[in-house]
């Protein structure tokens, strides 16, 4: 590829930053439409450039590296601002900028209503600035050519996530709920980032370089123990960013952010950064089966664990959040067992249908808020995200229902929608390499279908269970148009890597190492389809036949188990007891006895000591000239005595 073509990647990263500058400088005068248009055009421009790069890659699939500048030289370590254009990074760029652009457009309509509902229209501009910043950071993350530039993007998206979760920072439980959720996301991610940083330091120490090619070339000869250490620390970073066990707790709380944020950052793109990292670093994972097994087990367990919690949630976005964690578990398991193509495939299709589901959920929320105001109950406390308040929206929001149905069926893995093909590939790979994890994933797939069926029935079927739901209305075209586009992608996304053609696999094998020929196993495919249909059917049996009550229909038959789902297996409580409580106690000790007691009295003592000695010494300054003369005399005599006798 020529250098001019490679330079497009830099422009793709810089365009959203340009959007920020424009909105910062003249945004106030542009009005809402103008701000939204600038931000969307910036993201759309990145998408066009990514598309051009993809076209160029069709001619030269080996890609290339664009070196912008040297960042720093430190001894023998040189780190460049360099960008990598290959099939993997461009695939990620297309997903990020493509889904990102659609969500930008959707946000123009959604945030118009949201800023008014929350009573601060001035915040409209801030939202789009943050959103553009996120797109820039995410594009930097996926197009970086070394681990440090990747880390810059990694931290950048974390920052944007924090800013956007806390977008309504003065709202939420007790006026602090959203701010607390933002802090939680940031701090939990920090634990993971610490792992990634250690992995980077280990790589500097062992390989003396951070460039992908340099690191991966030396990985084959490296000591296995070293690789295990690097990959496990990297896994810690992955569990933080991609919300896996044991660091997944921040993602459900992150739903405090506006819905487009949940769709873009906490479902489609940012949380998949961990999956991308493992896929990119396959060369480090392949020589050490122990690390591969660890990643696979983390993914498999997370997939099942989060799916059980999703069964017990009533908040429409919380269900989707746990579903995201569960699906991320599928991807992490896939890249862990070396089926990186399947993992990336599921990442892409998941970006389509999960963004679709979140945005459609946002449309439902808008509809309910609209209905709530229409019903004349404007000031009553009302949670527009509570599925118990919904029902019967099928007839009131037909377009939203149609796209939601497509997204839910794609997520459940019903053929021939996108999710079926990508999930099937992961299941096939698991059935060959990790039979137990295969069982976990299959169970998770069943639960996925079940909770999506439950959600569909609770939200769209039956009779309206509140006045707001009764008066709900369809959203504006600006909101529904991106939904339709995403629904088309969700329906047809499986065509990316159809069995027999494997076009995505042939596309990615230029940049991924250790790609194994994927194949189609009828038994697994039919089995996963049967499991999906079984889950949906069972959901209909449990929830569809009679009107849902305040208590969930499963609560009685499952008893304490359901209570565990509802309470999220008490993980938050457990962390509070095991981590937060002792740490808080330690902080108390450090602040009280140690800081106020020891360190403070040390400082005070120094001050008092010098004051005391000064009080004593000032007596020498008695103002009598003759006593000064005596001191001088004695001094001179002493000096002479010293010079004469001692030396």
Site residues (vs other proteins, CB under 8 A):
618, 621-626, 629-630, 633
CB 634 to other proteins: min, Å:
10
CB 606 to other proteins: min, Å:
22
CB 622 to other proteins: min, Å:
7
Taking the least distance from each CB to other proteins, the nearer of 600 and 610 is 610
CB 119 within 8 A of CB 238: no
Contacts of 440 (CB under 8 A, 6+ apart): 300, 301, 303, 304
CB 620 to other proteins: min, Å:
9
Taking the least distance from each CB to other proteins, the nearer of 69 and 625 is 625
Taking the least distance from each CB to other proteins, the nearer of 58 and 617 is 617
Residue 24, number of CB atoms within 10 A of its CB: 12
CB 615 to other proteins: min, Å:
11
Distance, CA of 318 to CA of 266 (rounded, Å):
11
Distances (CA, A) of 621 to 615, 628, 637, 638: 11, 8, 21, 20
How does DSSP assign 152-169, residue by residue?
Answer: HHHHHHHHHHHHHHTTTT
**Spatial CA neighbour of 59 closest among 98, 85, 82:** 85
The residues that bridge with 84 in the sheet, in sequence order, are 65
Taking the least distance from each CB to other proteins, the nearer of 379 and 626 is 626
Taking the least distance from each CB to other proteins, the nearer of 526 and 631 is 631
Distance, CA of 17 to CA of 43 (rounded, Å):
10
Taking the least distance from each CB to other proteins, the nearer of 221 and 622 is 622
Instruction: Collapse the DSSP code of 594 into the 3-class scheme (helix H, G, I; strand E, B; otherwise coil) and give the result.
Output: helix
**Spatial CA neighbour of 261 closest among 459, 127, 403, 101:** 127
Secondary element (H or E) of residue 81? strand 77-85
Taking the least distance from each CB to other proteins, the nearer of 585 and 628 is 628
CB 633 to other proteins: min, Å:
6
Distance, CA of 107 to CA of 261 (rounded, Å):
9
Taking the least distance from each CB to other proteins, the nearer of 618 and 647 is 618
Distance, CA of 429 to CA of 116 (rounded, Å):
49
CB 637 to other proteins: min, Å:
10
Taking the least distance from each CB to other proteins, the nearer of 25 and 624 is 624
Taking the least distance from each CB to other proteins, the nearer of 589 and 629 is 629
CB 626 to other proteins: min, Å:
6
Given CA atoms 224, 229, 232, 238 in this order, what sign does their dihedral have? Answer: negative
Residue 84: phi and psi, rounded to 5, are: -115, 125
CB 616 to other proteins: min, Å:
13
Long-range contact list for 614-618, CB < 8 A, 24+ apart? Answer: none
Please report how the helices 398-412 and 477-492 are oriented relative to each other, as an axis angle in degrees rounded to 10: 30
Taking the least distance from each CB to other proteins, the nearer of 523 and 624 is 624
CB 638 to other proteins: min, Å:
15
Taking the least distance from each CB to other proteins, the nearer of 541 and 641 is 641
Instruction: Label residues 595-616 b or e (16+ Cβ within 10 Å = b).
Output: eeeeeeeeeeeeeeeeeeeeee
CB 639 to other proteins: min, Å:
15
Residue 625, CB-side half-sphere exposure with 13 Å CA sphere:
0
Taking the least distance from each CB to other proteins, the nearer of 26 and 629 is 629
Distances (CA, A) of 625 to 260, 428, 633, 638: 84, 101, 12, 20
Query: What's the DSSP call for residue 516?
Result: P
CA-only gyration radius of the chain, Å: 30
CB 625 to other proteins: min, Å:
5
CB 191 within 8 A of CB 238: no
CB 647 to other proteins: min, Å:
22
Distances (CA, A) of 284 to 21, 110, 212, 336, 341: 39, 43, 10, 11, 16
CB 642 to other proteins: min, Å:
19
Taking the least distance from each CB to other proteins, the nearer of 534 and 630 is 630
Contacts of 485 (CB under 8 A, 6+ apart): 102
Contacts of 131 (CB under 8 A, 6+ apart): 39, 43, 100, 103, 104, 107, 160, 164, 260, 261, 264
């Amino acid at each position: 590829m020529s250098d001019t073509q490679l330079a497009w990647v830099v422009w793709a990263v810089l365009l959203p930053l340009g959007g920020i500058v424009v909105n910062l400088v003249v945004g106030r005068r542009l009005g809402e439409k103008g701000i939204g248009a600038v931000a969307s055009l910036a993201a759309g421009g990145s998408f066009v450039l990514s598309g051009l790069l993809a076209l160029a890659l069709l001619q030269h699939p080996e890609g290339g590296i664009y070196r912008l500048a040297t960042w720093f030289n430190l001894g023998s370590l040189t780190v460049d601002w360099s960008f990598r254009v290959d099939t993997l990074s461009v695939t990620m760029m297309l997903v990020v900028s493509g889904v990102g652009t659609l969500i930008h457009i959707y946000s123009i309509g959604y945030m118009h209503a949201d800023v008014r509902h929350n009573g601060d229209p001035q915040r409209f501009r801030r939202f789009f600035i943050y959103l553009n910043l996120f797109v820039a950071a995410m594009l930097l993350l996926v197009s970086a050519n070394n681990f440090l530039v990747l880390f810059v993007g990694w931290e950048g998206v974390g920052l944007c996530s924090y800013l956007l979760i806390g977008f309504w920072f003065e709202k939420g439980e007790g006026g602090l709920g959203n701010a607390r959720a933002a802090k939680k996301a940031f701090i939990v991610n920090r634990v993971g980032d610490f792992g990634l940083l250690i992995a980077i330091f280990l790589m500097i120490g062992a390989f003396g370089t951070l460039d992908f090619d340099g690191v991966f070339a030396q990985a084959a000869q490296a000591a296995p123990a070293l690789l295990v250490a690097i990959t496990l620390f990297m896994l810690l970073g992955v569990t933080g960013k991609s919300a896996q066990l044991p660091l997944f707790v921040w993602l459900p709380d992150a739903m405090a952010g506006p819905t487009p944020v949940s769709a873009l950052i906490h479902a489609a793109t940012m949380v998949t950064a961990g999956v991308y990292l493992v896929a990119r670093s396959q060369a480090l994972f392949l020589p050490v089966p122990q690390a591969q097994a660890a990643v696979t087990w983390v993914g498999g367990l997370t997939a099942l664990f989060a799916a059980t919690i999703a069964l017990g949630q009533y908040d429409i976005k919380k269900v989707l959040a746990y579903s995201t964690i569960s699906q991320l578990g599928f991807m992490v398991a896939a890249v862990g067992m070396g089926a990186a193509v399947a993992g990336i495939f599921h990442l892409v299709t998941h970006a389509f249908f999960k963004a679709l589901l979140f945005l459609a959920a946002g449309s439902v929320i808008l509809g309910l808020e609209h209905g709530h105001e229409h019903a004349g109950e404007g000031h009553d406390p009302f949670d527009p995200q509570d599925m118990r308040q919904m029902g019967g929206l099928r007839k009131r929001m037909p377009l939203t229902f149609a796209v939601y149905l497509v997204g839910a069926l794609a997520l459940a893995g019903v053929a021939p929608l996108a999710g079926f093909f990508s999930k099937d590939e992961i299941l096939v790979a698991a059935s060959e390499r990790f039979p137990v994890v295969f069982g976990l994933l299959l169970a998770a797939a069943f639960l996925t279908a079940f909770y999506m069926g439950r959600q569909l029935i609770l939200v769209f079927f039956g009779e309206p269970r509140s006045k707001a739901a009764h008066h709900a209305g369809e959203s504006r075209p600006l909101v529904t148009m991106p939904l339709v586009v995403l629904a088309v992608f969700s329906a047809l996304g499986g065509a990316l890597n159809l069995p027999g053609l494997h076009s995505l696999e042939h596309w990615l094998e230029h940049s991924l190492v250790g790609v194994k020929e994927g194949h189609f196993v009828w038994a697994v495919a039919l089995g996963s389809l049967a499991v999906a249909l079984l889950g949906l059917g069972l959901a209909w049996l449990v929830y569809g036949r009679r009107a849902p009550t305040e208590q969930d229909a499963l609560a009685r038959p499952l008893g304490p188990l359901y209570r565990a789902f509802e309470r999220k297996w008490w993980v938050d409580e457990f962390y509070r007891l095991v981590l937060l409580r002792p740490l808080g106690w330690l902080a108390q000790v450090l602040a009280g006895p140690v800081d106020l007691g020891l360190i403070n009295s040390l400082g005070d003592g120094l001050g008092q000591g010098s004051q005391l000695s000064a009080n004593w010494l000032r007596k020498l300054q008695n103002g009598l000239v003759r006593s000064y003369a005596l001191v001088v005399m004695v001094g001179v005599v002493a000096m002479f005595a010293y010079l004469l006798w001692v030396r």
